[in-house]
Amino acid sequence: MERIVQQTDYDALSCRISAISKGYLPSPSLQIERCQYDGYREIHMEYLRVLKGVSMKIYSKVYQVAKTSFPVMNYGTYLRTVAIDLALDEFLKRVGDGRKVQVVNLGCGSDLRMIPLLRNLSDLFYVDVDYERSISVKSKVLWESPMLREMLDLKREDSTGEVSSDRYKLVACDLNRLDQTMQSLQALTSPDYPTVIITECLLCYMRDRESQQLIDSVMGFYKSGSWISYDPIGGSAPDDRFGVIMQNNLKESRNLDMPTLMIYNSTERYASRFHDADTTAIDMWELFTSQISNEECARLRSLQFLDEIEELKVMQKHYLLLVARW
pLDDT in tens, 207-224: 999 999 999 999 999 999
Q: For residue 34, what pLDDT is reported?
A: 78
Which CATH fold would you assign to the domain 2-325? Rossmann fold (3.40.50)
Q: Tell me, what's the pLDDT at 158?
A: 61
Report the candidate in 9, 94, 95, 82 with the shortest Cα–Cα distance to residue 47: 9
d(CA 193, CA 37): 25
Q: Do the beta carbons of residue 314 and residue 242 sit within 8 Å?
A: yes
Give residue limits of the domains in the chain.
2-325
Looking at the predicted structure, is the pLDDT value of residue 191 above 80? yes
CA distance 67 to 271: 36
Q: What is the mean pLDDT of residues 157-171?
A: 84
pLDDT (0 to 100) of residue 159: 62
Task: Give the pLDDT confidence of 248-296 residue by residue, as tens digits.
Answer: 999 998 899 999 999 999 999 999 999 989 999 999 999 999 999 999 9
Q: pLDDT confidence of 47, banded at 50, 70, 90?
A: very high
Is 200 annotated in some ligand binding site?
yes
Mean predicted confidence (pLDDT) in 23-32: 87
- Which residues have CB under 8 Å from 43's CB, separation 6+? 37, 112, 115, 147, 148, 151
Question: What is the overall mean pLDDT for the chain?
Answer: 94
196: pLDDT strictly greater than 80: yes
List, as one string, the DSSP characters of 55-100: -HHHHHHHHHHHHT--HHHHHHHHHHHHHHHHHHHHHHHHH-TTS-
The pLDDT value given to residue 52: 97
What pLDDT, on the 0 to 100 scale, is given for residue 4?
80
Residue 107 known to bind ligand = yes
Span 51-76, average pLDDT: 94
